[in-house]
Structure 1
Amino acid sequence: MRRLHWAIATCAGLACLTLLQPSLAATVDATHDTWVREDSADSNRNGNDQMNARTDLDADDNDVILLRFPTTDIPAGVSGLSLNLYWQRSDSSSSNELKLYGLNETDTDETAWTESTVTYNNAPGLLPDGVDPATESGNGATFDEIQDLDVANLTLLVPGQGYGPQVLDEEYSFSSAALDAFVNADTNGEVTFLILRANESTSGNQARFWPKESGTAPNLSFVPEPSSVALLGLLTLVAGVAVRRR
């Protein structure tokens, strides 16, 4: 009978562990999140109920999302990171793409910019030239030049990822080996990301996400290292043994 009790307790514990696996994922919320736009280059957009990413080659609508996260609670050598945001609107448009950049530590503003003061003209990772995308496109500028990217201080983490349609409140995620490597290489406790449109957009077809003030913060999620999961499994088995001994 005792063996039966032990077997039941152990199996129940392992079943609970299996059910808990999805909840083992940890998240780190953004401490700063906002967006900047080229056609209002000296304005600060913090306080808006949205964050926009857009590139319109027929006008001057370069919109860039900026996110900053602490890394102190992310284990060294982590893998399977996911950068998650949530759609602020519904839109049936498809065949769109976003790209994700990490701001290198060579940029002196990496840990200094704030959502309450950043503008298009002083945003880290950008080198605004005051020329609108339509003119630059007509002059044969590269897409990086049109988007005013400071490529020397940026690392491309996701070159172009599809989205659409946009569904209100649905999660949208970036993940890649390059994202894992970028976060693992951090040495100063914070990382900054830029999100841009990877293809031409029209004025009304921007990617629009909730900022953290909405109550749905952008976050970095990860699963704790295997040793933590193994420890939980061990504790489960110990509980089973304790039942057997009783």
Structure 2
Amino acid sequence: MNWQRRSFSSLLAVACAAVIAGPAADAYAASIGASDDTWVREDNPDSNRNGNDQVNARTDLDGDDNDVILLKFPTTGLPGGVSGLSLDLFWQRSDSGTGNTLSLYGVNESDPDEASWTEGDVTYNNAPGLIPDGVDPTAELAAMNSFDDIRDLDTANLTLLVDGQDYGPQVINEKYSFSSAALDAFVNGDTNGQVSFLIFRGNESTSGNQARFWPKESGPGPVLSYVPEPSALGLVLIAGLAAVRRRS
């Protein structure tokens, strides 16, 4: 039994040292998967795109395409006042294009469809956070409309969380992440147990270099990641080690 006590003491010391030092994000990150993930497109505004093997974001100013990614996550599993959140997606293909940007918006609870939309029935015409006007980007550009109007943003019901973040080249299965203090505040401010996001292309793209990610049904889908508080992690480690000791 002495060797068992020594082994337990050694493990406990290691666990306490890790808690005091603080866990590495990659080693101890926790995550919550999306409950709904899909995309919608302006040139086919009544179609539901769920079931595709990708989700796309694109703004095509010399065509009629706006592709918008929609994501929904449950928040009931998140600790209160969480910080250091990261919304992680994974590229569905490789593309060498550079000089591109994406923006992340949160759908406010003031939007009547924020909680009710699902990946199986949402379209461009009924998506939360959008006000479709039936005018394609080429015509809107010629009319000198604002970029928000071109993308049909319902700005009154959206919160900008990350603006114009660079991406490219795309490398299949590589992680692409959004994080900001605004993202933390938006998720912590949730009151109905779920949060919805829209992802928009921030500059013109063509059919060859839109941002294309895996949905959960076809590959490593979107997740909300965070690092548990060191104190909470320490309690988990110590409880686990205590259970090991009891069994010994």
Pick one of 139, 147, 171 that aligns with 1:167. 171
Aligned 8 A contact 2:15 2:234 in 1 = no
* Structure 2 residue matching 1:34: 3-state secondary structure: strand
Q: Which residue is equivalent to 1:189?
A: 193
Q: Which residue is equivalent to 1:68?
A: 72
Q: Which residue is equivalent to 1:92?
A: 96
Q: Distance in 2 between matches of 1:127 and 1:141?
A: 14
Is the counterpart of residue 148 in structure 1 residue 190 in structure 2?
A: no
Q: Which residue is equivalent to 2:112?
A: 108
- Give the unaligned 5+ runs of structure 2: none
Q: Which residue is equivalent to 2:28?
A: 24
* Structure 2 residue matching 1:181: 3-state secondary structure: helix
Larger displacement relative to structure 2 (166-175 or 5-14): 5-14
Q: Which residue is equivalent to 1:42?
A: 46
Pick one of 134, 137, 156 that aligns with 1:133. 137
The Cα shift of 1:67 comes to: 0.2
Structure 2 CA distance for partners of 1:234 and 1:9, relative to 1, 3 Å: closer
Is the counterpart of residue 219 in structure 1 residue 223 in structure 2?
A: yes
Pick one of 172, 177, 180 that aligns with 1:176. 180
Post-superposition CA distance 1:84-124 (Å, at most 9, x none): 11100000001100000000000011110011111111111
Is the counterpart of residue 58 in structure 1 residue 62 in structure 2?
A: yes
Post-superposition CA distance 1:208-231 (Å, at most 9, x none): 001110141211011123330242
Q: Distance in 2 between matches of 1:138 and 1:91?
A: 30
Matched AA of 2:116: A
Give 4+ residue runs of structure 1 displaced > 6 Å after superposition. Answer: 3-7, 15-21, 236-239
Aligned 8 A contact 2:25 2:227 in 1 = no
Aligned 8 A contact 2:23 2:230 in 1 = no
Structure 2 CA distance for partners of 1:8 and 1:32, relative to 1, 3 Å: closer
Matched AA of 1:167: V
Matched AA of 1:74: L
Q: Distance in 2 between matches of 1:7 and 1:212?
A: 42
Aligned 8 A contact 1:68 1:193 in 2 = yes
- Give the unaligned 5+ runs of structure 1: none
Matched AA of 1:64: V
Q: Distance in 1 between matches of 2:240 and 2:123?
A: 52
The Cα shift of 1:6 comes to: 8.3
Post-superposition CA distance 1:153-190 (Å, at most 9, x none): 00000011001100001111100000000000000001
Aligned 8 A contact 1:28 1:220 in 2 = yes
Aligned 8 A contact 1:10 1:236 in 2 = no
Alignment length, in residue pairs? 242
Structure 2 CA distance for partners of 1:236 and 1:66, relative to 1, 3 Å: closer
Post-superposition CA distance 1:132-154 (Å, at most 9, x none): 00010011000000000000000
Aligned 8 A contact 2:107 2:198 in 1 = yes
Q: Distance in 2 between matches of 1:170 and 1:23?
A: 18
* C-alpha RMSD of the superposition: 2.7
Matched AA of 2:148: D
Q: Which residue is equivalent to 2:208?
A: 204
Q: Distance in 1 between matches of 2:36 and 2:223?
A: 11
* Structure 1 residue matching 2:217: 3-state secondary structure: helix
The Cα shift of 1:12 comes to: 4.1
Q: Distance in 2 between matches of 1:75 and 1:9?
A: 27
